[in-house]
Amino acid sequence: MAAPKAETAESLFNSLGASYEEAYADNPVLIDFIKSIAEKLPPKSNVLDVGSGTGKPVSHLLASAGHAVHGIDVSAEMIRLAASQVPSGIYRQADMTTYQPPYKMDAAFAVLSMFQLTPGEVVAQMYRFAEWVRVGGFVALCVIPSTALNPQNIEYDPTWDAVWTIGKEWMGSITNESFFSEEGWVRILKQAGFVLEDEPVSYLFSPIGREKQLPEGHYCLLARRVEEMPLFGPFPLPSKERVSGTASGTCAQGLKVLSQQRLVSKGLEDLVKELGEKEVFILGEKGQGNWSDDSTKQLPLDAIPSGAAETVLAPWVLANAADIDKTMSELARVARSLIVIVQGAPDNEVVNLINPVIRSSPIAHQGHILQSAWESLIKQGFGEISVHRIGARFEFPEKDVSQRCASAAEFLIGLWHGDHPQKEGLKKFLEHRLRLFFHGHEHSIGFDMVAVVAVRPN
């Protein structure tokens, strides 16, 4: 029997409104936790309340401490309530998975606000927090760890080492929720470039009106951003020796990945449109590339004249380079003005789905590749280097779940390991994981990328 259809976070919290505050705002341990962080922050810090709800207790406490509060929530009703209760705050209805703050924050708070995210979205959100706060800034979380749940009501997700509750009844509504263990939260924060600032706080809490039910286990963490480039994660970066052994698991199609019909990406479209007005050399997977008016003509990189192209584009191919430094030197020699490197984001869901299944020949660590390319560009004299996230996803519109899982597994294994001797078994293995994955996003899998854009100085 299929689980009842879960409500979206927006409709859920629109319907809850002030009743959520009545149940959860009077939380003495959480209040002390927020107050301690408010005192730790520099005076008049810019702080972001992610999933701000009614504004109490988080926004209210931070504003009372003299900080400049920004708040976002997916619910219009919650935004209305927060703005009325914390008039000094700046509130905006927004989805945390697509939001971009106006400037770097001193701290971001996500208090009991990420349950409706999928495990993959939670991991991605840690990287977004790292992008949103300054180096040395903080992220403060309050969550319910998976260890506090009734084991009879959960389903383990091996892709993320997390658990789901599917079709959970909560405050009169049906939700799908995801949870990490205490160790899991510390792990994903570390991978995104944070370190714990203080010892986490663990306690039991009974929401008002639900005292007869089992209390909730709450877990509060404060972490400080220490990594300069969070999109080069997950951290810690592997050794060069370890990376060099993964070439067989790299994507062998390069630009073909970006031209798949299932791929949807406004950011990629914008990048291609911008490059379309330039003279571009595209590096292929074998160190060759399209050159001259004949787009089918492939020439080795070292056969291209110096300064022959205005722009060089290297899409998903640097993992195949035996020596990234040497390849980047050649790209710098060919490009007159611009080099664009495109690889996977650290939270790329496709990579995270495939690597635990393949194991012996995983897709190479994308952040290590990007870090190596960045360092090489600096050596080549490129001073103006920017890093951008490119949002992207593969879509699977098949209505039947079994067919959708089979199509997605066939497609994903084919991209990286189409010649694998155990391909059929790998596809079946991946199908089972996708059945759980599609509870979160019924018809898409995230394929976020990172573009490193280097401009040659005049």
In a domain, 211, yes or no: yes
What is residue 4's predicted lDDT score, i.e. its pLDDT? 55
Same domain, yes or no: 210 and 306:
no
The answer to whether the CB of 107 falls within 8 A of the CB of 45 is yes
Burial class from Cβ neighbours inside 10 Å (0-12, 13-18, 19+) for residue 458 reads: exposed
**Pick from 221, 241, 261, 445: nearest CA to 344:** 445
The pairing of strands 288-290 and 384-390 is: unpaired
Q: Given this model, what pLDDT does residue 151 score?
A: 87
Over the range 440-453, which residues count as b (16 or more CB within 10 Å of their CB) and which as e?
Answer: bbeebbbbbbbbbb
Number of domains in the chain: 2
The domain boundary, picked from 228, 243, 267, lies at 228
Residues 395 and 318 in one domain: yes
Residue 178 token pair: 């995801």
- Same domain membership, residue 55 and residue 161: yes
Query: 184 in a domain, yes or no?
Result: yes
- Are 200 and 264 in the same domain? no
Q: What are phi and psi of 269, to 5 degrees?
A: -60, -40
Residue 67 placed within a domain: yes
> What is the per-residue pLDDT for 18?
59
CB 131 within 8 Å of CB 139: no
**Chunked mean pLDDT (size 10), the chain, 458 residues:** 55 60 82 98 98 94 98 93 95 96 97 94 98 98 96 91 83 80 98 98 88 85 98 91 42 67 93 81 63 51 86 89 91 93 96 91 92 94 93 97 97 90 94 93 95 91
* 235 in any annotated domain: no
Phi, psi torsion values for 194, nearest 5 degrees? -110, 155
- How far is residue 241's CA from residue 114's CA, in Å, rounded to a whole number? 37
Has this prediction a pTM greater than 0.95?
no
What single letter denotes the amino acid at residue 386?
S
| Residues 211, 349 within the same domain | no
Inside any domain, residue 162: yes
Helices (H), 86-181: 119-132
Do 145 and 25 lie in one domain? The reply is yes
Does the residue 236 lie in any domain?
no
* Residues 284, 390 within the same domain: yes
What is the residue range of 129's domain?
Answer: 9-228
Cis check: omega of the bond before 421, within 30 degrees of 0: no
CA 449 to CA 346: how far, in whole Å?
A: 8
Kindly state whether residue 242 falls inside one of the protein's structural domains: no
Residues 392 and 436 in one domain: yes
48 plus 89 within the same structural domain: yes
Please tell me the predicted confidence (pLDDT) of residue 370. 97
Q: CATH number, domain at 276?
A: 3.40.50.150
Residue 109 and residue 87 in contact, taking contact as beta carbons nearer than 8 Å: no
Looking at the DSSP assignment, which residues form a beta bridge with residue 177? 165
Indicate if 188 and 305 belong to the same structural domain: no
Does residue 333 fall inside a structural domain?
Answer: yes
Q: Are residues 167 and 224 in the same domain?
A: yes
Helix axes 119-132, 349-358, angle to 10 degrees: 130
Same domain, 209 and 294: no
Domain boundary among 228, 244, 272: 228
